Amino acid sequence: MKILSRALMATLVCISYGLTAQNTTGSCDLFEDGPNDNWPRVLTATTPDDPTSSSPQTMQINVLSMPEGASYRVAKTVANGNWFFGNAQPLELGSNSVTVSGVGFLRSVKFQFSSGDVEFDALSINGETLTCASDLDGVAMENCDGVDDGPNATWPHVVTATTPDDPNSAAAQTMSILVTALPDAGASFRVVKTVANGNWNNGTPMDLEVGLNEFTVSEVAFSRSVKFQFSSGEIEFAELVINGAAVACGSTPCEDVDEDGICDDVDDCVGSADALGVCNGSCEEDANDNGICDADEDTIDPASYCGPGTTWDESLNQCVGAENCMGDFNGDGAIATSDLLGFLAIFGTACL
């Protein structure tokens, strides 16, 4: 395992605050192979390249299960650069917390484990929660807009690092990829570059591993092209960086259950609106756009809502005054004494 840069460490912390699945010291990419069979797995806390390596170094791991007698020990460099190996300490189920005291010089500090079968669900170094690459959300290479199609089925995907048009093409070219998942059969990459006479040189395939993979193409004295080819579109990664610049994969697909082109988390209606505009409502039709479902209008005569002297107007979708015969003031269909008395009651009244 390579030491993660502070920028990448921050990326891992931002992507996922903590381990969301159970892992083992043998499967998690944060651990590297140890020096021997007694200490087969190692977690690096710091190296002399870290300006804070002289500070206290802490590790916390929450153990879910482990082989009987599983233990850890601290391996660190002392002032003269020699290695010092601490005594083996038993691991316990649950939270295990270890602190290595601060010193007055730059140093390396590692935590060695006696087994790769220690299962855990939380791990932190110096207060920073770490996440195994296999627990990160990755994007498949075949779905990344920033990755181009390769030359053939053996190398279906390619990322261009530089071309002769780039004034810095002769400089060293770097690639790092944080792999979160690989096809069952594994996957590899290779470097393809032009040499001094312009011919192409195809490098030897190199296996990819879950976790951080880094490669540097040495500098030369001529302008050139450099590309990184990948053997599978099923390679999933959380980050792909070429010469310090992250490859952008475009927008992350969102959940859109109703397939209306609006992500469900911002969709006002996950489903469809009925004829009255009600999300997932039951009204199938409102042909006259009166806000009353046609199914309800079939059973309720709108005219029943009209008061005396009014009638239902289909064209206006409302009650209107009835067209009475002249003199039938009370609208009972006959001109009688009651109409005359009503007229005399208001005779001489000024109209406002």
- pLDDT tens for the chain, 352 residues long, are 344 444 444 444 443 334 445 799 999 999 999 999 999 999 999 999 999 999 999 999 999 999 999 999 999 999 999 999 999 999 999 999 999 999 999 999 999 999 999 999 999 999 999 989 988 889 999 999 999 999 999 999 999 999 999 999 999 999 999 999 999 999 999 999 999 999 999 999 999 999 999 999 999 999 999 999 999 999 999 999 999 999 999 865 667 788 777 777 778 888 888 888 899 888 888 887 888 888 877 666 666 667 666 777 777 777 766 665 666 666 666 778 877 777 777 777 776 5
Q: Is the pTM of this model over 0.75?
A: no
Rg, Å, the chain Cα set: 38
pLDDT of residue 3: 41
Strand partners, 246: 241
**What gap in Å lies between CA 280 and CA 215, rounded to an integer?**
54
Contact at 8 Å (CB) between 147 and 157?
Answer: yes
- Cα 172 to the center of its chain, rounded Å: 32
Q: Does domain 6-135 have CATH number 2.60.120?
A: yes
Listed in order, the ranges of the chain carrying CATH 2.60.120 are 6-135, 139-246
The topology under which CATH files domain 139-246 is Jelly Rolls (2.60.120)
**How far are the Cα atoms of 32, 209, 239, 240 from residue 248, in angstroms, in the given order?**
29, 21, 9, 8
- AA identity, residue 185: A
- Predicted local distance difference test score (pLDDT) of residue 308: 66
Taking the C-alpha atoms of residue 237 and residue 226, their distance in angstroms, rounded to an integer, is 21
Q: What is the pLDDT of residue 352?
A: 55
User: How deeply is 232 buried, as exposed, middle or buried, from its count of CB atoms within 10 A (0-12, 13-18, 19+)?
Assistant: buried
Half-sphere exposure of 249 (CA within 13 A, CB side): 15
Q: Which residues pair with 175 in a beta bridge?
A: 215, 242
